[in-house]
Structure 1
Amino acid sequence: MRQTTAILSFDTPGQGLIEITRDVTAWIKAQAIHQGLLTLFCRHTSASLLIQENAAHEVRTDLQAWIARLAPESDEYAHDDEGPDDMPAHLRATLTGIQLSVPMIGGSLALGTWQGIYLFEHRRRPHRRQLALHLIGE
């Protein structure tokens, strides 16, 4: 049994879903672990991680609109230190989560045919986001 870790950084253009499956897969391939479990952890409170459909772009558009309705920008929040999108970003990250676990089978992530891994940026302005990865297996 082996394990390895890394920090991957991603520049976001602002709010939206950024597919990171290729970046994560490239890192995994370099580790030469064929069976195991990958854990991804977002090191931020205003961005999150999702596994979602990666075929139809409308899924991402609809998901972003839905989450904006659940946690809208408003002047009613007490926490607005970094602007009106500050507290809604925290709420959106709470709703969608900051950690994922994905099994590895035969040297590949056990994602379904239409599944991709996404970093979900909840802030309007660009950010540099970090993900901690932990891979354990053989």
Structure 2
Amino acid sequence: MSHGFETRTLHVTTGRAESVFDLTAECEAFLAEVASGRDGLLNLFAPHATMGVALIETGAGSDDDLLAALHTLLPADDRWQHRHGSPGHGRDHVLPAIVPPHATLPVIGGELALGTWQSVCLVDTNKDNPQRQVRLSFLG
């Protein structure tokens, strides 16, 4: 079995509101093109200082619950040393310490090996920058 490395950069518009943006379909499409039924690893990396990658259930309220929890942990107020941008923007720069900007996921037979309710999501609280990139890399 040959091993290879494939990578691609996705361009994502997350919008001007805080969001949990589901990337599962984009990850699956990427793997359909490059994994050829192989086992391996999919790595996602968001090269931004103000967003993260999370595995979370979407569509049942968990995405809103996550944003609410982040508001409790990281209030959008004037307590932050980092003060450029929208009010409270300093908390966006702390977010990646809680929701890391990367994830490495198992791929079995060319498909993501996620749990029943897991989706691959970007967590973006930065309302100042809706244009984002995510690097997908498959090693298998």
- Taking structure 2 as the reference length, the TM-score comes to 0.91
Partner of 1:60: 63
Q: Which amino acid aligns with 1:20?
A: L
> Is the Cα–Cα contact under 8 Å of residues 10 and 130 in structure 1 kept in the other structure?
yes
Matched-pair contact (CA < 8 Å) for 2:78–2:88: no
From 97, 100, 103, the equivalent of 1:100 is 103
- Residues 98-136 of structure 1 show CA distances to partners (whole Å, capped at 9, x for unaligned) of 110001001100001111000111112451111111111
Q: C-alpha distance in 2, partners of 1:73/1:12?
A: 18
Tell me which amino acid in the other structure corresponds to 1:38: L
Structure 1 residues 20-63: Cα deviation after superposition (integer angstroms, max 9, x where no partner): 1001111110113321001111110111100011351x111111
CA displacement at 1:91 relative to structure 2: 1.4
Q: CA RMSD in A?
A: 1.3
Give the structure 1 partner of residue 87 of structure 2.
Answer: 84
Identity %: 29
Partner of 1:2: 4
Letter in 2 for 1:9: H
CA spacing shift, 1:115–1:72, aligned 2, 3 Å: same
| Moved segments of 4+, more than 2 Å | none
* Structure-1 separation of matches of 2:111 and 2:48: 27
User: 35-44 or 83-92, which moves further after superposition?
Assistant: 83-92
Residues of 1 paired with 2:59 and 2:82: CA distance? 36
- The alignment partner of 1:103 has SS state of strand
**In structure 2, how many angstroms separate the alpha carbons of the residues matched to 1:47 and 1:60?**
15
* Aligned residue runs from structure 1 range 40-59, under 5 A: 40-56=44-60, 58-59=61-62
Instruction: Name the structure where strand makes up a greater proportion of residues.
Output: 1
The equivalent of 1:35 in structure 2 is 39
Unaligned stretches of 5+ in structure 1? none
**Match of 1:53, as an amino acid?**
E
SS in 2 for 1:130: strand
Contact conserved, 2:86 with 2:128, CA < 8 A, in 1? no
CA shift for structure 1 position 69? 0.7
